[in-house]
């Protein structure tokens, strides 16, 4: 079985509900008829109700940018899986580098979020990636191994479609500096081998590993041509319907 490519747009803290309506409508239109790849968008929470309406009936998947592990309770500022399901989300980005580095989210916290997403039937997109210091210090693979092992601690995966991993080198996010296709392939291959050790080879070979970090219309084709690159997590270039349309139509 082939891994179906997944192109994901992470809108971060951009778009008011009105702007999101327009962008989502354009992306829904652009993704019409694409059957050999999946397209996901992660608008801010506040835009989810209008985006849900706009993408109804399209094949776009909706994701949250984070998720709590509890159904409800005293967790000020958090959003529960049930609330996200109600708003049409089927996936959730977890452990994004901005959550880790700006908001101090730890591997242990991220692991709880992954478990919570799975428990409620949402597909987690677990983000991992090394900083520039870590790469220059030769610690990239060590960091990735720690983030994968801790993020997936005690997570049982029997259906490889129920989890996605995104490799996003921190130094490439929002900087215009993309990892070379060799750097991406090397990291993805390492992560897949690791997943085979944690689960089984047959599961690991089916789990999608996305690349993220300054993906744009000019570099998406070569990144997607790499054996272990199964999709892209796109930030800045996902905010323009024109560039995101080109990206989802990668060759």
Q: Residue 73 Cβ, how far from ligand PGA at the closest point, in Å?
A: 29
Q: Residue 215 Cβ, how far from ligand PGA at the closest point, in Å?
A: 5
Interacting residues toward ligand PGA by CB under 6 A = 10, 168, 173-174, 212-215, 233-237
Q: Residue 122 Cβ, how far from ligand PGA at the closest point, in Å?
A: 18
Q: Residue 13 Cβ, how far from ligand PGA at the closest point, in Å?
A: 11
Choice between 101 and 201, CB closer to ligand PGA = 101
Cα–Cα distance measured from residue 99 to residue 183, given in angstroms and rounded to the nearest whole number: 23
For 205, the token pair is 């070979």
Task: Cite the active site residues.
Answer: 96, 168
Residues 113/68, Cβ–Cβ less than 8 Å: yes
Choice between 10 and 183, CB closer to ligand PGA = 10
For residue 150, give every residue at least 6 positions away whose Cβ sits within 8 Å of its Cβ, in sequence order, or none.
Answer: 107, 108, 110, 111
| Burial of residue 121 (number of CB atoms within 10 Å: 0-12, 13-18, 19+) | exposed
Cα–Cα distance measured from residue 233 to residue 211, given in angstroms and rounded to the nearest whole number: 6
């Amino acid at each position: 079985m082939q891994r179906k490519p997944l192109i994901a747009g992470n809108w971060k803290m951009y778009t008011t509900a009105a702007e999101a309506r327009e962008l989502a409508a354009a992306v829904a239109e652009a993704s019409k008829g694409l059957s050999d790849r999946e397209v996901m968008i992660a608008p801010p929470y506040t835009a989810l109700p209008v985006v849900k309406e706009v993408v109804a009936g399209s094949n776009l998947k909706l994701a949250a940018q984070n998720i709590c592990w509890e159904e409800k309770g005293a967790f000020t500022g958090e959003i529960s899986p049930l609330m996200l399901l109600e708003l049409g989300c089927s996936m959730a980005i977890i452990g994004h580098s901005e959550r880790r580095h700006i908001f101090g989210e730890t591997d242990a916290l991220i692991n709880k979020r992954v478990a919570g997403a799975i428990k409620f039937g949402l597909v987690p997109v677990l983000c991992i990636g090394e900083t520039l210091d870590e790469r220059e210090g030769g610690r990239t693979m060590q960091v990735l191994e720690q983030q994968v092992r801790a993020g997936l601690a005690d997570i049982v995966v029997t259906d490889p479609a129920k989890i996605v991993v995104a490799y996003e080198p921190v130094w490439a996010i929002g900087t215009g500096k993309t990892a070379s296709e060799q750097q991406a392939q090397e990291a993805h291959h390492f992560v897949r081998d690791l997943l085979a050790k944690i689960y089984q080879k047959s599961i690991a070979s089916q789990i999608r590993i996305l690349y993220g970090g300054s993906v744009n219309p000019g570099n998406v084709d070569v990144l997607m041509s790499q054996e272990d690159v199964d999709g892209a997590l796109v930030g800045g270039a996902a905010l323009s319907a024109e560039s995101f349309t080109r990206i989802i139509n990668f060759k």
